[in-house]
Amino acid sequence: MSTIESTPLVPAQGIPPAGRSTAIESMDAYRALVAEAAQDHEAFWARLAREHLTWRRPFTQILNDRDAPFYKWFEDGELNASYNCLDRNLASGNANKTAIIFESDDGRVSTVTYQALYHRVCRLANALRARGVKKGDRVVIYLPMSVEGVVAMQACARIGAPHCVVFGGFSAKSLHERITNVGAVAIITADEQVRAGKTLPLKSIVDEALAMGGTDAVKTVVIYRRTGGRIPWIGGRDAWLHELENDQPDTCEPEWVSAEHPLFVLYTSGSTGAPKGVQHSTGGYLLWAAVTMKWTFDIKPDDVFWCTADIGWITGHTYICYGPTAVGATQVIFEGVPTYPNAGRFWDMIERHKVSIFYTAPTAIRSLIKSAEADRAVHPGSFDLSTLRILGTVGEPINPSAWNWYSEHVGGGKCPVLDTFWQTETGGHMITPLPGVTPLVPGSCTLPLPGIDAAIVDETGNEVPNGQGGVLVIRKPWPSMIRTVWGNPDRFRNGYYPEELGGNLYLAGDGAIRDADTGYFTITGRVDDVLNVSGHRMGTMEIESALSACPLVAEAAVVGRPDETFGEAIVAFVVLKGPRPTGTDVKRIADELRAWVGKEIGPIAKPKEIRFGDAMPKTRSGKVVRRMLRSVAKGEEVSQDTSTVENPQVIAQFADPA
Ligand code: PRX
């Protein structure tokens, strides 16, 4: 990836809709907001919280840092997230406005107004209550991309039951881990999921997960009938979503909760141990979802917004379920994948639905570039994309060549490309250009949003000068930050506010560098053992323990290798209990291990490459030499000194990819 130094500034681009200015209209306006926050951090956030959210009971306390880093925001204020996303729209004249344009995998389109969405959410909320789900109970959601996904999340929010959405690509075992860790009392799923014409039996996977034990608390499984495929049924526990909805009134008094009441728990990978449940609050989280829709995306009443993420990830939480609805936007929700029935699907959908703001992952862009270059029929230039005015990316660094292609061929050279940096833990955008305002640099996420006090420090927590790399930290707490790791406060404190940095800086886990002239940030990638594969976070340790659990495997080490399309590829080094495989056994066993990881975690964690050796290369003190393995994975000569390695001869064995 080229650095800021080698890439010229692209003048601020982006045309606000005719006759209107952007939410933050100039760099001066941006600087004024930054200054306002710097002058009185709490007053700044309090002003936003009063202006952007509707409170049942206004807050009188702003930040409570008595138990730092367990910060609390607007604690004595009361509100309801679903009220802010639905009822508020009915009151403000959006009742008949389209909330969701849904397109199924096979291209069928349906629309839902805010009024209809409100009634569906109320019915499901009533049904959940009728089944005994109450404030504070956790509900796991394992659904495909659908209107029902948003209905389910909002219904949970309406009754104050924190949801825990699990991505449909996770296996029964991963689902089980999350159900038990979060202590769910109900699950909302579908009979089947459909993607690229293929079905996946979600309900059967739920049954499999529930049969693994420790799930007695789960009394209800609600099933959305997506395909009508045959499913196993457990009487008393299982219920069809449409039947539950039919039986219920279409209004539902919201549960008014403290701003600090957990809105959801979302699991993400860390560098060690099992996935951690990132707990978000109701007030602070929703505030930033709404504000960033306006500041970053400059959302206007007639925009058509499309975020291509899955609701199983934070991007789908903030920029599908909560952000767009909190500001009364019309959005597209897509069930399928960008390459089905062909790689022109995104461009075709942008044309047909007149999308004006488009938000996707660099991996998607990179893979579509390849297809577009090979086949003019799926090239964005073959579609009318003139409705687009803002483009965004998220999830991983975007290389300047992909950025330029996106800008030129998708944006027609007139749309700003916003490289938005943030994380599951941050709730919403942290560092991002503002459309039409911030001069852009391909490959840089530019400047922190007002109120976000980002800095780059060395390993002891001291700020490094611009131009010198370090680790990214956020110095002051902000309302949409992670509150804790579900059930594991020590992991929250030690992982995010480490003592080595003084215990008062939020550690993002990414390396970063600021440009000497512009002060722009460029994210250089994770500094821990977290991989980013296609914009999905994967812990190397998780994959290692999945592999090690396989009866064939004696030992495994997993590293990432830079990958042109997917950002990083997973490379596994494996020592079998039996002899090192040769000939056709190499592929056979590698495939078996890949399938094993697919079952243990999910298809997204399957290693791209598996290499076998007689033993794991280790130092004399028994530590796996990961740095060397990373070089080996890249196909580099192992230049590091191998004299400290106990068994250097095995490195050559591993140099051979299976
Ligand atoms: O490494 C950073 C990368 O994705 C990580 C967060 O992953 P997750 O919690 O799954 O959330 C992804 C969607 C918000 C970060 O620690 N990342 C995210 N956005 C960018 C990025 N890396 C570079 N540039 C970005 N714009």
Residues 510-524 pLDDT 10s: 999 999 999 999 999
What's residue 5's pLDDT? 44
Share of the chain above pLDDT 70, in %: 97
Position 489 pLDDT exceeds 70 = yes
Mutate which of 398, 421, 444 for ligand 1 pocket (most atoms within 8 A of beta carbon) = 421
Position 542 pLDDT exceeds 90 = yes
The Cα–Cα gap between 157 and 151 comes to: 10
What's residue 339's pLDDT? 96
Mean per-residue pLDDT, 288-306: 97
End-to-end Cα separation, the chain, in angstroms: 28
Position 2 pLDDT exceeds 70 = no
Residue of 131, 167, 73 whose CA lies nearest to 536: 167
Query: Could you read off the pLDDT of 300-335 as tens digits, one per residue?
Result: 999 999 999 999 999 999 999 999 999 999 999 999
More confident residue, 642 or 630: 630
**Are 608 and 534 in contact, with CB atoms under 8 Å apart?**
no
Residue type, 273: G
Mean per-residue pLDDT, 475-492: 98
Instruction: Examine residue 341 and say whether the peptide bond preceding it is cis (omega within 30 degrees of 0).
Output: yes
Query: Could you read off the pLDDT of 545-598 as tens digits, one per residue?
Result: 999 999 999 999 999 999 999 999 999 999 999 999 999 999 999 999 999 999
Position 15 pLDDT exceeds 90 = no
The Cα–Cα gap between 83 and 326 comes to: 9
Give me 622's structure tokens. 């028994």
What's residue 640's pLDDT? 65
Mean per-residue pLDDT, 209-226: 97
Report the atom number in ligand 1 closest to the C-alpha of 398: 24
Mutate which of 268, 396, 441 for ligand 1 pocket (most atoms within 8 A of beta carbon) = 396
Percent helix, strand and coil across the chain, each to the nearest 5: 35, 25, 45
Q: 396 C-alpha vs ligand 1 centroid, how far in Å?
A: 5
What's residue 643's pLDDT? 81
What's residue 242's pLDDT? 97
Give me 191's structure tokens. 């009979």
Position 13 pLDDT exceeds 90 = no
CA triple 650-656-658, angle to 5 deg: 120
Q: Is the CB of 428 inside a 6 Å radius of any atom of ligand 1?
A: no
HSE value, Cβ hemisphere, 13 Å, CA-based, for 137: 23
CA distances 392 to 226, 387, 421, 585, Å, are 30, 15, 10, 45
Residue type, 448: P
At residue 657 the predicted structure's pLDDT band, cuts being 50, 70 and 90, is: low
Mutate which of 285, 537, 538 for ligand 1 pocket (most atoms within 8 A of beta carbon) = 537
What's residue 9's pLDDT? 72
The Cα–Cα gap between 99 and 54 comes to: 19
Q: Is the CB of 532 inside a 6 Å radius of any atom of ligand 1?
A: yes
Report the atom number in ligand 1 closest to the C-alpha of 509: 16
**Atom 14, ligand 1: which residue's CA is nearest?**
423
Q: Is the CB of 422 inside a 6 Å radius of any atom of ligand 1?
A: yes
**Are 306 and 390 in contact, with CB atoms under 8 Å apart?**
no
Q: What is the DSSP letter of 10?
A: B
Residue type, 516: A
What's residue 1's pLDDT? 37
What's residue 453's pLDDT? 98
Mean of pLDDT over the chain: 95
Position 31 pLDDT exceeds 80 = yes
Residue of 128, 148, 149 whose CA lies nearest to 137: 128
Mean per-residue pLDDT, 469-476: 98
